[in-house]
Chain A
């Protein structure tokens, strides 16, 4: 893909806040109830960036966190982007995704709402997400569907909940999800600190992979199973070979050069989105870009919310 000749990013994955009502044991951004620092962007800065996204013609913005719904600017931002014609994806844990917010979102071009469900029963679900209520997440999914918004379900496999995968896939079908996302646990944040106890074994991953292949065939045409690339390493390699053109914006306005990198290429507090895009291209420049024409590109980098799955 010729990102070097694009005049603006193809997508923005925007981590609105580190604040979250949960403190999941596998959270790769280490978000939690007390994680909202003074360094997070002000409403004015957020709205300025949102307007820039619209003006630049960015087609797609992923709003994530932490828990994006806990950002005081969440709905204003979503409305600024959505009314400007930007397709939106919202990644939520579903704990506080109530009808009032959902109804406001439903008026916008919502590409999807993604809800994290790591277990089909309260026990395994709450083991990864202490204090979380599975019923609240399921209610959020049903609200999303009732309001006509496309639903995605994300499942993070760990040693605690691997056996839940098949049941969660079936649950996602029942909930009306169009896509189920999973992949290997990513060794970052809290997942890194608890890696030994948390990470499934190779054998367990092989079992999961075979389940995914089987369910993919079984559910073809009903629900998409998204699990390739399966590991963070594969994703990073793909991104290195073919940059996605997705800017990853952190809560403090810093911009990452890649989804799973810690290399900051710009700071939106002091730079415009156009300048950030130029910086991203400088970092990611690929001299062997493809010939112009009608060429199917790869998927842009997925957002990296707290959920450590890939």
Chain B
């Protein structure tokens, strides 16, 4: 694995443990994504904003790939961090012990390590679990989902609550 990526992973995990998601550098605090640049991973230049001498150069494929992988890590670990850092409040839910959540292109995977059972989730299912990890309770779950997902069919509420019921029935989510 790229050394920079390994270092970045360490940084993310440290942030996860400590709950501090800003990195204090010599100047003002910077986000983890910006901090990646200090670890040997240059952020991808925005289109049309290339520096003189580098303008118009294509971002090398390898860098794009590393960047993509890095963003996956941030996305995944941020979701888990939210879940682990959230102070449990009455009415909120959390993943059951021994359950791991992993984002996938098609949605996500829930792995109940105790029974060694794997559950694949589509994108809506993944959004429900993300909301739970972010501290949603049953009462505000649908509202949180509506902030992020379109409800073209008008079935979002019914489907989300039905899915939540299944998650609880399978012991994947607890109050």
Instruction: Give the chain A neighbours of B166 by CB distance below 8 A.
Output: 294
Query: Judging by beta carbons under 8 Å apart, are A296 and B100 in contact?
Result: no
Residues of A within 8 A of B148 (CB): none
> Are A1 and B5 within 8 A (Cβ)?
no
A272 lies within 8 A of chain B by Cβ: yes
Residue of B nearest to A3 (CB): B118
Categorize the interface residue count of chain A: 35 or more
Question: With A and B bound together, what is the CA distance between A294 and B72 in angstroms?
Answer: 22
Question: Does A202 interact with chain B (Cβ within 8 Å)?
Answer: no
Which chain B residues lie closer than 8 Å to A302 at the CB level? 116
* A267 lies within 8 A of chain B by Cβ: no
Q: How far is the CB of B84 from chain A (nearest CB, A)?
A: 9
Distance in Å: Cβ of A188 to nearest Cβ of chain B: 22
On whether the beta carbons of A296 and B1 are closer than 8 Å, the reply is no
Assuming the contacts A292-B106, A294-B166, asked whether A51 and B119 have C-beta atoms less than 8 A apart, the reply is no
Q: Which residues of B contact A178 (CB under 8 A)?
A: 114
* In the assembled complex, B122 has its CB within 8 A of some CB on chain A: yes
Within 8 A of B (CB), among A1-27: 1-2, 5-8, 10-11
| Contact between B115 and A10, CB atoms less than 8 A apart | no
Taking CB atoms, residues of chain B closer than 8 Å to A57 are 72-73, 76, 102-103
Q: Contacts A5-B105, A55-B6, A292-B107; is A111 near B113 (CB within 8 Å)?
A: yes
Residues of B near A295 (CB, < 8 A) are 119-120
User: A51-B6, A54-B9, A294-B125 are known contacts. Are A59 and B119 too (CB-CB below 8 A)?
Assistant: no
Query: B146-168: which have CB < 8 Å to A?
Result: 163, 166
Whole-angstrom distance between the Cβ of A239 and the nearest chain B Cβ? 13
Cβ-based interface call for A124 (8 A)? no
Residue of A nearest to B5 (CB): A55
A292 and B120 within 8 A (CB): yes
Question: Quick check: A297 and B119 within 8 Å, CB to CB?
Answer: yes
Residues in A whose Cβ lies below 8 Å from that of B103: 57
Grouping DSSP codes into helix (H, G, I), strand (E, B) and loop, the A interface class, with mixed when no group exceeds half, is loop
Of listed A2, A57, A111, A272, residue having the most chain B CB within 10 A: A57
A163 on interface, CB distance cutoff 8 Å:
no
User: From DSSP, what is the main secondary structure of chain B's interface residues?
Assistant: mixed
CA distance A84 to B10 in the complex (A): 9
Does B121 count as interface, using CB distance less than 8 angstroms? yes
In Å, the complex CA distance between A5 and B103 comes to: 11
| A111 near B98: Cβ-Cβ < 8 Å | yes
Contact of B9 with A6 in the complex, beta carbons under 8 Å: no
Query: Does any Cβ of A come within 8 Å of B58's Cβ?
Result: no
Partner of A7, one of B105, B115, B120: B105
Partner of B120, one of A87, A89, A293: A293
| Interface residues as binary, A166-182 with B (CB distance below 8 Å gives 1, 0 otherwise) | 00000000000010000
B113 & A60 in contact (Cβ 8 Å cutoff): yes
Considering only CB atoms, which chain B residue lies closest to A55 in the complex? Answer: B9
Do A60 and B100 touch across chains, with their CB atoms under 8 A apart? Answer: yes
Task: Type the 1/0 row for A47-90, where 1 means its CB is closer than 8 Å to any CB of B.
Answer: 01001101101011000000000000000000000011101010
Q: Which residues of A contact B (CB under 8 A)?
A: 1-2, 5-8, 10-11, 48, 51-52, 54-55, 57, 59-60, 83-85, 87, 89, 111-112, 150, 178, 245, 272, 292-300, 302
* Beyond A1-B120, A292-B120, 19 additional pairs, beta carbon < 8 A: A2-B106, A7-B104, A10-B109, A48-B1, A51-B9, A52-B1, A54-B13, A55-B69, A57-B103, A59-B102, A85-B77, A85-B100, A87-B100, A87-B113, A111-B114, A112-B114, A296-B117, A296-B118, A297-B119
List the 10 closest A-B pairs by CB distance, nearest first.
A59-B100, A297-B118, A299-B116, A59-B111, A87-B113, A111-B113, A60-B113, A57-B102, A292-B122, A5-B106
